[in-house]
Amino acid sequence: MKLLVKIMLAFPIVGLAQHTFSIVAVDSLTGEIGSAGATCGDSIIWPGTPGAYLISDLIPGVGAIHSQSYYLLGNQINANTRMDLGDAPQDIINWLVANDVQSDPSIRQYGIVDYNGGSPRSAAYTGAACFDYKNHILGSNYAIQGNILLGQEILDAMEIRFNNTNGCLSEKLMAAMQGANVIGADTRCTTEGTSSLSAFLRVAKATDHPDSLFLDLNIAGTATGVEPINELQAKYDVWKLNNTQDCLPLRIFEEIEALDLLVFPNPTDGVLHIQSSNEKISRIEVTSIQGSLVLVKDHIQFSETDVISLESLINGTYFVAFYDNKNLLATKKLTLLHE
């Protein structure tokens, strides 16, 4: 199969490239932006390309763009330029459809998200002439898209895995990829006995340089019968072992009431007042709704009132947890809304 396709694509390969299933997503609390995908094409079939990795365009602190199905670098550059100018994802797609480099948007597919100051936006487009099965799914902070698919179940499984996985953004993206770990997810790979031939996973922190991302994993090609999503998972597991503080385990609590504890105002604009007669409180932790520990106030000599500044955090939902030397005493759910 590889030899046949290699001969067929020996001509301008980038213009013919079909990229299959992918996801772009934003963590609205941490500001991280992520991108993952796979295709039954690789650096062997398309010499000089990094396989599925080709479509990923991350702009740290701003957004992510996937330009797939008959990928053209010109369309990708134009999308990036529009995002740099501040266009919303749907506006970028509208512009791309109206200004396709080859005047044929019907064969293109796009997935775009942006951070938008902690209020993510998403948009996607699937041209009518993309190869079946084709479709896309949107969430408030993600876009999932694919073509040449086994069916809608591939996209649905990616979405379910992404939404139902607790943890940091990279864990959710990796789980989404496992949702597509099905033989023939890209139907061209059915005879290979795999979902695809190449896969990637990327996450950018807001402070990253575009050429040096926090997480940047790529499986450019695998041997016959070797599943690239499993290879990607193995690489990710090794990465996570060495970056435990950057992908913290779930630390989300249900609210635990304490009669002698008041936390106000709620919502707060960044200054949080705490009132309690419990002198055992020695540590306060603030955790994002995704489970990341974002603030710690330790070695407290707690009096009846205290003040915590949350001004460094972005708008969103948090849990404030109160501990003595060993035990969790209480938690409060908190909404942060900067004016």
Per-residue pLDDT tens for 99-129?
Answer: 999 999 999 999 999 999 888 999 999 999 9
Is residue 167 pLDDT above 70, yes or no?
A: yes
113: domain range? 2-246
- Pick the last residue of a domain from 212, 246, 280: 246
Tell me if the pTM is above 0.85.
no
For residue 145, tell me if it sits in a domain.
yes
Q: Regarding predicted confidence, which is higher, 328 or 175?
A: 175
Distance between CA 10 and CA 19 in Å, rounded?
17
- Residues contacting 32, CB < 8 A, separation 6+: 26, 168, 169, 170, 203, 204, 205, 206, 214
For residue 252, tell me if it sits in a domain.
no
On whether both 13 and 96 belong to a single domain, the answer is yes
For residue 320, tell me if it sits in a domain.
yes
- CA torsion sign, 322 to 328 to 329 to 335? positive
Query: What total number of domains does the chain contain?
Result: 2
Distance between CA 337 and CA 315 in Å, rounded?
5
On whether both 291 and 315 belong to a single domain, the answer is yes
On whether both 97 and 163 belong to a single domain, the answer is yes
Structure tokens at 110: 């796009």
pLDDT 10s digits, 268-301: 999 999 888 877 888 888 887 656 678 888 877 6
- Pick the last residue of a domain from 246, 273, 295: 246
The chain-wide mean pLDDT, for the chain, equals 85
Distance between CA 196 and CA 68 in Å, rounded?
15
Cis peptide before 267, with omega less than 30 degrees from 0? yes
For residue 213, tell me if it sits in a domain.
yes
Is residue 262 pLDDT above 70, yes or no?
A: yes
Is residue 247 pLDDT above 80, yes or no?
A: no
pLDDT the model gives residue 18: 55
Pairing of strands 283-288, 293-297: antiparallel
On whether both 169 and 121 belong to a single domain, the answer is yes
Q: Regarding predicted confidence, which is higher, 228 or 48?
A: 228
Assign residue 72 a region: left if phi > 0, alpha if psi is -120 to 50, beta otherwise?
Answer: beta
pLDDT 10s digits, 60-106: 999 999 999 998 889 999 999 999 999 999 999 999 999 999 999 99
On whether both 50 and 194 belong to a single domain, the answer is yes
User: Quick one: pLDDT band at residue 13, thresholds 50, 70, 90?
Assistant: very low
On whether both 282 and 176 belong to a single domain, the answer is no
Is residue 48 pLDDT above 60, yes or no?
A: no
Is residue 338 pLDDT above 90, yes or no?
A: no
For residue 183, tell me if it sits in a domain.
yes
**What percent of the chain is modeled with pLDDT above 90?**
51
pLDDT the model gives residue 290: 59
Residue 207: give its domain's CATH number. Answer: 3.60.20.10
pLDDT the model gives residue 45: 55
On whether both 196 and 305 belong to a single domain, the answer is no
pLDDT the model gives residue 244: 66
On whether both 242 and 305 belong to a single domain, the answer is no
The 3-state DSSP class for residue 2 equals: helix
pLDDT the model gives residue 166: 78
Is residue 14 pLDDT above 90, yes or no?
A: no
- Residues contacting 239, CB < 8 A, separation 6+: 215, 217
For residue 154, tell me if it sits in a domain.
yes
For residue 103, tell me if it sits in a domain.
yes
Work out the burial of residue 90: count CB atoms within 10 Å of its CB; fewer than 13 is exposed, 13-18 middle, 19 or more buried.
middle
pLDDT the model gives residue 31: 86
On whether both 86 and 157 belong to a single domain, the answer is yes
**What percent of the chain is modeled with pLDDT above 70?**
84
On whether both 170 and 231 belong to a single domain, the answer is yes
- Pick the last residue of a domain from 189, 219, 246: 246
Residue 261, CB-side half-sphere exposure with 13 Å CA sphere: 21
Distance between CA 116 and CA 110 in Å, rounded?
19
pLDDT 10s digits, 196-221: 999 999 999 988 998 889 999 999 88
CB atoms closer than 10 angstroms to residue 297: 17
Residue 326: give its domain's CATH number. Answer: 2.60.40.3080
Most confident of 5-9, 12-16, 181-185, 303-307: 181-185
Most confident of 175-189, 202-216, 236-250, 252-266: 175-189
For residue 11, tell me if it sits in a domain.
yes
154 φ, ψ to 5°? -65, -50
On whether both 287 and 193 belong to a single domain, the answer is no
Residue 328: in which H helix or E strand, if any?
Answer: strand 328-336
On whether both 239 and 312 belong to a single domain, the answer is no
